[in-house]
Structure formats: C-alpha cells, structure tokens
Structure 1
Amino acid sequence: MNGESPSRSDPLSQARALAELNDRSREIFRQIVESYLATGEPVGSRNISRLLHAPLSPASVRNVMADLEHAGLIFAPHTSAGRLPTETGLRFFVDAMLEIGDLSVEDRGNIEAQMRAAAQGRDFESALAEASAMLSGLSRGAGVVVTSKQDPTLKHIEFVRLDPMRALVVLVSEDGSVENRLLDLPPGLPASALTEAANFLNARIRGKTLADVRDETRVLRESMERELDALTARLIEAGVAFPSQGVDQRHLIVRGQANLLADLQALEDLERIRLLFEDLETQTDVIDLLGRAEAGEGVRIFIGSENKLFSLSGSSLVAAPFRDGAQKIVGVLGVIGPTRLNYARIVPMVDYTAKLLSRMLEGSGR
C-alpha cells in the first residue's frame, strides 16, 4: 500500500492518540477501512455520513477524518478527496477492531473434503500442494506452504571397509534413495565388528529416520555395551552420528498467483503485483517470513512494509503453523494477497486448515 507518512512519527504519541479515539471516531475509521477492504477505493465524508448508524453531517465527518489523519490512521491519495487507511491504520484495525467469526458449515465442509481428497493416495508434499491450491481458490489470493524436508525412513544400513582406518556407511531408504558417508574407524577394530554393527542396527532401523535411530542408540547405550564389545558400540554410535540430510532444509509451495491478477483496478496495481511476483520468486525471503509465523501460537498477520519482503509490493500475509503427531511444528501455510485482504474471512480459514492438517498428520502417525 502506498501512503503518506503518519503525522505522528513518535510511537508513544501515536499509541496515545489511538487509545483516545472515541466511539464516533472508531466508527468512522471502521467505515473507511471496511470500504477499502471491499472496494480498494478511497471513501469520502459524504458517503461515510450515509453509512453511520447515528446521523452526522459530512462536515462533522470531515473533522473526525482530519483527526484520524493526524493520528496516522488514514491518508488522502493525491488523486482523490476520499481517504484510505495507512498500514498503521490497517494494523490498528486488525489488532483492535477486527471481528473474526467462525467459518460457515459450508466452508468447513469444502476445506475438509478437499483436504481428504488431497491426502488420498498422494505423498505428503503433493498433499501440501493441494492444500496450498485449496487456500488459493477459497481466498482468491495466492496459497503458500513452507515445510521442512522430511528425512526418509531407513530400510537397510551397511558398513563397507575401505582401508584399516576408514569405512563407507551405506544408508538405503524405504523410498529407494541411497546415501554414502565416510566414517573414521577406531584403531584396532576387527573386521567382524562391521558386520555386528550392521546386524544390530538393521534389527532396529526399519521404518525409522536416521534421527530416530540416533536417539535410540543413546537410550540403548547400556544394552549395546552388554551385547557388543566397546569398539563395536563406538562404531554404531559413530555410524549414526551424521547430521540428517533434511535438517533445516525448507521447501516452498506457491499456488494461485493468477488470482492476484483478477482484481486489478489501476496500472499501479499491476506494478504492485509485478513486484509481488518478484518477491515470491525470492524463495529464501518468503521462507524466512513464513518461518516467523512459527514463533507463536495461532495465526500471524504481516501487513505491507512491516516486513522487508513486501515493502515495495504492499502485500499482506496471513499464516499459521501446523504440527506433526508429536506436536512439533513442521511447516506453515497461509495466504498472500493485497493489503485489502478479507481478513475476517481468511484468518479463520487459514487457522482451520492448519489445525485440520495437524490432525491429519497426527492420525497418519507422522
């Protein structure tokens, strides 16, 4: 969103001004914001006076609008006598005045049906892509999902001696992928120790990730030392001590960018969307922004220049984390669109989808 700088740059002064808004000022401000969210157009005092519950002349409305502008909540575009909310105003509206209802039965049914269909016979990543596309279709924005790359479950492990001091650890996953890693061997390790270590691990790794096996070997340290000699036990610990390949690897899925072109109202909107597309292509920055939504519970809303990623395109992000069966946050999903997103509808939609996805992951044992 483009807007003039608030008249009160001092945060304390601005906070005081917001706290001092009376009911009439809040109602007029609400009308300005809701008109903007519905149409994207500036609204003038004459139109607002017609919308108010209590009669008020256009002149009196203009006086209140002047106070709201001084507080940094609204501004006058140079092309119109009407007013639009500033980003500060939108943030105040979202935090203090937005009334978020529950999803309708129809919306819940649509989300549940599409999520069930997405999970049928598809791998996890494909299901997430479907979830992103679903959010895009329901919100008319761009649906986004970012998730950690999951470590594959293991099928087989083997130790292959290369020379007296080095071996190759061969990790075969259930999905058919193979990883080879070099391992330094303890001095004096007998050849039989490689076979014993592999047998010990293969009896326990099926269906588990490398991280799972690593945690289990710590728990089984005493039994390892009873069943195996000390050098073989050390070999097992070293063989699974490698960091998991998927750690800190993040994957971004974006669907529905075309929706952002459907409601253009001016050439400046086209330029804004062009800048947003450039932002989305900078995947690292989008992933970092979505990662910030993992910091707290529930839905997070990022508006315009509050984050550097959208500082030029004037866009907003509504995002919520989802969890696996162990209640660990494994990703974030959300909706990106213009700052005049229908927050009252999209916030509960994103929240419900994230919770539904979490329940599906829990039910699948992920």
Structure 2
Amino acid sequence: MKLSARDKQVFSAVMTLYCNGEGLPVASSKIAKMKGMAICSATVRNAMARLENHGLLFSPHTSAGRVPSDVGIKYWLQEYFELDNIATYWQPEQEHLVTLAHSLSQHYQVCCVVGLPQVSSQQVFRVEVLDFDRKHWLVLLIDKAGQSQNICINKPTDNSDEMRYQFALWMNTVFSQHTLKEGLHRMRAMANTAMPDCRALLTQWTRELSLQLGTDNSIVVGERHIYNRLGKSNEISLGVPFLHQIEDKLAFRNGLSVILGSEVDADNLSRYVILSVPYFMDQEYQSRFCVVCPAEAPIEAIIDEFSRLEQKDS
C-alpha cells in the first residue's frame, strides 16, 4: 500500500491521537491544530477520506471523527516502526521477566502473558533429599534464586538417614552447577557410581525428570484490565495455550512482532493488539513475552519500553 507523504503524515497523527489511552474518534480540526502540521482542516478531511478508502480508517458513526481499522492498526505498527530490529535475541534474567510484566501492566493498564524459562535450562545450585513420607523421598533441585524443581522418588529398601545423606551427596555431584538437561545425561552416564541400593531408583527418577523437562508454565499479569474494559465475567483463555497460538503464528520470528486479537482463537479480544518478543537463555530459545493491550493503549510508549530491553539486559 503506497501512501503520499501528506496521507502518511495525517495517518500518523490519527494513530498518535487515538492511541493515547482514551481511543476517541479523531477530528480533522484536532489534527490541523497539532504542532508541525501546517495544513487546514479541509486538507486533513480529504486525506482522511483517502485513508478510509484504503481501509485504514473508518467513522464509527455519522459526523464522528475517524478511528483506525484493524488493518490500519497493523499497517501502522508494521510500516512506521522497525519492529524486527527491536529487542532482537533478548536474553533477560528470569527476575526481569516478572518485574517487567508487572511494571508494564500497572503503568499502561495492559495484560502480560509470559512463558517461563524452559525447565531444562535451569541451572542447579544444590540438591536436597528430604524424608517425605513412609514410601517416598522428596528430591529438591534448587537454583541460585532459591527456586526448585521437586520430585518424589520411591525409597530404597535401606531407607536410613545415612543412605539418604549418601544419595544426596551423589545427586549433588551429578547435578551441581549443571542444567537439569545436562544433569539428566550425567545421571545416566554416572549410574554405576551410585550406591547399589539406590541404582534401582534411577530408572524411575530419569523418567520423572524427563516429564519435568517437558512441562510448560507461564504467568499472566493484569488480566483484570481486560475484564474491566469488556465488562465480562467469563474467563478469557490466556496462559500456555495462548502462547502456543502466538508461537504457531510467528514461527519463532525474532524481534518485536504484532498480532491482532482477532487473529487468535480467544473470545472478546477484538480491537486488541498483541505485542510479542521471544527471549533466549544461553542462546537457546525459551518462550515469548506478550503484551495484550487494547487498540487505544499508548502503544508507542510500550514499543519504546521494548526498544530499551537490550540495554537493560546487556
């Protein structure tokens, strides 16, 4: 779609005035009064009429100003911003993911859906083996932040405290300072060094750990902003299934990407925009950080937040 320089200027002005948190129709007189425009209202109206013919704007009712269409919103984001160059190969600390989600949600009244780092990339700092109940030990694989992956295993025949202590020492030798994925490989390779009475547990343990490595998890922050805006009591399908949809549509595309709410299989997200950035750890893809915001949200400011991600986490 080719627009004249004048039409591009007017379209950009409409988007700036509309995406200010209020989402009110934009009148030609308001654009004509903007600093740096230097054009009359009639000229603006003619440009807006052409933009409407292109399908970028529409009038919500008679005698109203114009608002962007879904096509217009996506065109603006893709053509006016170099999204592919924003937050490329972002490698945040896990704590920053949660902090950023809460910060964006509170400041801009938006919802953030964040896939948590893959369990397999979690680096184990230490291992503890606890006496859980009559039949099981509880194994805690703890990272430096104090977060842990917990798995129950059957006790061996000799389930004395001394045996549990020896098993914990062996587990620390295998997993300490390694990722869970690396630890799993080491556990298989070092099975013959485990205490004889515990070797029978290793098959069960590796099976349970493999299941842990394959699990998905996510956090959703600020979904109340969607409910408050829509006035709906029914739940909206966000979280891991939502992230899978985004990944399928973007095919692991790097940089900042945009998807319209109408393009995903989620009820009540029409006139919503989804800004999505993939993130990495140790150069391996982990998941996506998504901001689900209404079309009238201050999207330019949110994009600026993403443009500063690399500086924060470099």
Same fold? TM cut 0.5: yes
Structure 1 counterpart of 2:185: 215
Distance 1:350 1:302 in 2: 16
Distance 1:80 1:352, change over 3 A: same
Q: Point out the structure with the larger helix share.
A: 1
How many pairs are equivalent?
279
- Whether the aligned pair in 1 keeps the contact of 2:57 and 2:72 (CA below 8 Å) is yes
Q: 1:336 to 1:273 in 2, by over 3 A?
A: same
**C-alpha displacement at 1:86, in angstroms?**
0.4
Structure 1 position 334, deviation (Å): 3.6
For the residue of structure 1 that corresponds to 2:174, the secondary structure is coil
C-alpha spacing 1:46/1:329, structure 2 compared with 1 (3 Å): same
Q: Does 1:145 align with 2:127?
A: no
Q: Is the aligned partner of 1:67 residue 2:37?
A: no
Q: For residue 241 of structure 1, report the CA deviation from its aligned partner.
A: 4.6
Tell me the amino acid that sits aligned with residue 4 of structure 2: N
Structure number, greater radius of gyration: 1
- Corresponding residue for residue 363 of structure 1: none
- 1:53 alignment partner, one of 15, 22, 37: 37
Q: What is the identity, as a one-letter code, of the residue corresponding to 2:213?
A: V
Structure-2 separation of matches of 1:248 and 1:79: 54
Matches within 5 A, 1:79-98: 80-98=63-81
CA apart distance, 1:353? 4.1
Scaled by the length of structure 1, the TM-score of the pair is 0.59
Could you say what secondary structure the match of 1:246 adopts? helix
Match of 2:10 in 1: 28
Corresponding letter in the other structure for 2:298: N
Select the residue among 306, 321, 343 that pairs with 2:278: 321
Q: C-alpha root-mean-square deviation of aligned residues, in Å?
A: 4.4
Is structure 2 residue 195 aligned with structure 1 residue 247?
Answer: no
Structure-2 separation of matches of 1:73 and 1:284: 32
**Contact 2:153 / 2:204 at 8 angstroms: preserved in 1?**
no
Task: Measure the CA separation in 2 of the matches of 1:318 and 1:41.
Answer: 22
**SS of residue paired to 2:24:** coil
Contact 2:105–2:221 under 8 Å retained in 1: yes
Q: Which residues in structure 2 correspond to 1:124-273 (within 5 Å)?
A: 128-148=97-117, 150=119, 153=124, 155=127, 172-174=139-141, 177-180=150-153, 203-206=173-176, 208=178, 210-216=180-186, 238=203, 241-242=206-207, 244-258=210-224, 273=230
Shift of 1:93: 0.8
Q: What TM-score do the two structures reach when normalised by structure 2? A: 0.68
Deviation sequence 1:115-159 (CA, Å, 0-9, x none): 9xxx9xxxx67x6544321222333323332214636747378xx
- Shift of the 174–217 alpha-carbon distance from structure 1 to 2, 3 Å rule, reads closer
Structure 1: any 5+ residue segments left out of the alignment? 1-17, 101-114, 158-167, 183-196, 229-233, 262-269, 360-366
Residues 56 and 80 (structure 1), Cα distance of their counterparts in 2 relative to 1, 3 Å cut: closer
Q: What amino acid is aligned across from residue 94 of structure 1 in structure 2?
A: L
Per-residue CA deviations over 1:151-190 (Å, capped at 9, x if unaligned) read: 6747378xxxxxxxxxx996722458342279xxxxxxxx
CA distance in 2, matches of 1:355, 1:320: 15
Are 1:155 and 1:174, in contact at CA under 8 Å, matched by a contact in 2? yes
Q: CA deviation at 1:213?
A: 2.4
1:278 aligned counterpart, secondary structure? coil
Q: Determine whether 1:333 maps to 2:289.
A: yes
The match for 1:304 among 261, 281, 289 is: 261
**Could you tell me which amino acid in structure 1 is paired with residue 9 of structure 2?**
E
TM-superposed CA distance for 1:236, in Å, is 9.5
Where structure 2 has 5 or more consecutive residues not aligned to the other structure, the ranges are 84-91, 130-134, 143-147, 156-166
1:35/1:43 contact within 8 Å kept: yes
SS of structure 1 residue aligned to 2:297: coil
Q: Which moved more, 1:327-336 or 1:281-290?
A: 281-290
Residues 319 and 350, structure 1, Cα contact 8 Å, conserved in 2: no
Q: 1:11-26 to 2 correspondence within 5 Å?
A: 18-19=1-2, 21-26=3-8
Question: Would the aligned equivalents of 1:99 and 1:344 in 2 still touch at CA under 8 Å?
Answer: no
Q: Deviations over 1:286-307 (max 9, x none)?
A: 3324545681222222223132
